[in-house]
Chains A and B, each alone.
Chain A
């Protein structure tokens, strides 16, 4: 299996909802990432897990909460989001850190 999968593909949520994004890879990669991408912009790094430990948090608001249950899974828990949080949320994984492989993303709309 040589891909990163993400679920759901689309998510619409209200500002009071709690939802989770899921990411999975079976390439044996040691690092997994969450990125946020707004339209016509490059991906912005949010979190990095290396060997299942949070290694980078790019000063992301606490309404985003990452979790890495095991070396193949990465979750992003969402709570009390704002409309400006609407974006494409990308998961990536890497063995080396420099070659990063992205999933298809979850299109999130916050109403």
Chain B
């Protein structure tokens, strides 16, 4: 119940295309869903996050779509660029039981020119 399932494991996208990464969870107590971007040899960086009271959040080329009834959320990267090539982790947390982030397994994105 504490798991967050992430797919695909790897993704290859042409420059300018849309990258889509999906995550699913079981625990309905989760109420904070961040996405992290990690470049090789670096620490994860908080990219964008959403709470279940909204269905979509957009920051620049990055959009989170959230489907509360399906217990799914996804990251869309519009106009993907080679500089977006990184590993992306979704995560989930329970606000009142803070400090624990449950990470997905990660998606390695490669954007080719």
Contact = CB atoms under 8 A, between A and B. Distances in A.
A binds B: yes
B39 to A, nearest CB: 10
Contact of B104 (A33, A42, A96, A105): A42
A98 B93 CA distance: 6
Nearest to B51: A98
A12 B32 CA distance: 37
B13 interface: no
A96 B98 contact: yes
B44 A98 contact: no
Contact of A45 (B42, B44, B49, B100): B100
Count class of interface residues, chain B: 20 to 34
Interface residues of A, number: 27
Given A98-B32, A100-B46, A102-B44, A42 B89 contact: yes
Contacts of B60: none
Nearest to B103: A42
B33 to A, nearest CB: 10
B34 A41 contact: no
Interface stretch (A14-22, A48-56, A64-72, A74-82): A48-56
Main secondary structure of the interface of A (DSSP, over half): strand
Given A40-B106, A41-B106, A42-B89, A98 B101 contact: yes
Interface in B58-113: 87, 89, 93, 95, 98-101, 103-106, 108
Given A43-B44, A98-B34, 7 more contacts: A31-B98, A33-B99, A40-B106, A43-B89, A50-B99, A56-B100, A98-B95
What are the 8 A-B residue pairs with the smallest beta carbon separation, nearest first?
A97-B98, A42-B103, A102-B43, A98-B32, A97-B99, A98-B93, A48-B99, A105-B43
Interface of B: 32, 34, 36, 41-46, 49, 87, 89, 93, 95, 98-101, 103-106, 108
